[in-house]
Amino acid sequence: MSDCIFSVRNLSVTLQTGLGLARVVDKISFSLQGGEILGLVGESGCGKSITAAALMGLVLSPQGLVTADQIKLGDKNLTQLDEASLRRVRGSEISMIFQEPLTALDPVFSVGSHLSTVIRRHRGENRRQALRSSVDMLERVGMADADRIMQSYPHQLSGGMRQRVMIAMAMACRPKVLIADEPTTALDVTTQAQVLTQLSELGQSFGTAILLITHDLGVVAQACDRALIMYCGRIVEEAPVKALFGAPTHPYTAGLLAAVPRISTGRAQRVQAIPGLVPHPAALSDGCHFANRCQRADTRCRTLIPNMRSVDGPTNSHLHACHHPLEHSCHAD
């Protein structure tokens, strides 16, 4: 993997809700290296998708307010760009795969029109060159009959095929960063594995850093190099995937892993659910947001926000935000 190409520092998003103003993303920070896949994991409603929208500059006032010390893409600080400059960056240097391809694709335009428009706008190719490049991208994402797919409309394709079209569009301009928001939702396990493999191969081929947003820990285990665990708008743990699965230190992370069903050859197993409910973002208390669901919580947890700190000393590859972290006799590397 190459040096850092995308850096986010203290990103926050505040939205107007039915219960008043709510900070749905609260001062999150992370970085991405070229060619790596970073998973952003958490329950539905924890702020994953709004984080993606904020990074793309798609949260608009007055409904939402985005603040950040820095959203740096290469040598560009996206927080300092006007809308016209952001439009030039979106699609060419930073791209996004949206959660539901059928609604993200325009039903009145063919696949070929979708792809060639992106390529002509951002790569400056003429119509013939753009059509040829579109066919090439469809073939790279596993479309066996790319010429026929070019003439097809979104409703004529299966879910897996539509998702491959979205990947082809997002990667057509060889972006530095790709944000993939739940790219395997509603896909069968075989297609899911194929889509994840294609994303990984394209990322390695183009040197693209991928932020993979998901609630599925199986996807993280299969596809990601590192993972961020998000709860109520905050990052509570960050680690390489092997360390995260082998020795989670935040109680929320451990709860998520314990809730994953496992195949048992012996007696039946009961899935361990995390007690309690996720609070509404406008009704969050002071201190750790997970305190009301955590068996380790005390008065300090309910009143003092825990800072991110290193688990593994000077390497700083495994971080958590917890006053009473879990301890492991042998920490996974």
pLDDT in tens, 210-236: 999 999 999 999 999 999 999 999 999
What mean pLDDT is predicted for residues 229-251? 96
Strands (E), 187-254: 209-214, 226-231, 234-240
Is residue 166 domain-shared with residue 283, that is, in the same domain? Answer: no
Cα separation, 244 vs 246, whole angstroms: 6
Centroid of chain to Cα 106: 23
Contact at 8 Å (CB) between 211 and 179?
A: yes
Is the confidence at residue 237, as pLDDT, over 60?
A: yes
Containing structural domain, residue 161: 4-224
Residue 332 inside a domain? The answer is no
Tokens (6 digits) for 276? 């309690």
Strands (E), the chain: 4-17, 20-33, 37-41, 64-67, 70-73, 76-77, 94-97, 177-181, 209-214, 226-231, 234-240, 309-310, 319-320
pLDDT in tens, 113-147: 999 999 999 988 999 999 999 999 999 998 889 99
Q: Please report the pLDDT score of residue 10 as a whole number.
A: 97
Report the mean per-residue pLDDT for the chain: 90
Contact at 8 Å (CB) between 191 and 162?
A: no
What mean pLDDT is predicted for residues 186-212? 91
Q: Please report the pLDDT score of residue 1 as a whole number.
A: 47
Residue 213 inside a domain? The answer is yes
Is residue 255 domain-shared with residue 287, that is, in the same domain? Answer: yes
What total of structural domains would you count in the chain? 2
| Residue in the structure block whose two tokens are 């800072």 | 307
Last residue of a domain, one of 224, 246, 272: 224
Is residue 210 domain-shared with residue 280, that is, in the same domain? Answer: no
Is residue 153 domain-shared with residue 292, that is, in the same domain? Answer: no
Is residue 270 domain-shared with residue 129, that is, in the same domain? Answer: no
Is the confidence at residue 266, as pLDDT, over 70?
A: no
What mean pLDDT is predicted for residues 93-100? 91
283 or 153: which leads in pLDDT: 153
Is residue 115 domain-shared with residue 260, that is, in the same domain? Answer: no
Q: Per residue in 180-204, is it b (16+ CB within 10 Å) or e — as a string?
A: bbbbbbebeeebbebbbebbbebbe
Is residue 219 domain-shared with residue 241, that is, in the same domain? Answer: no
Q: Please report the pLDDT score of residue 144 as a whole number.
A: 87
pLDDT in tens, 152-179: 999 999 988 999 999 999 999 999 999 9
pLDDT classification of 17: cutoffs 50, 70, 90: confident
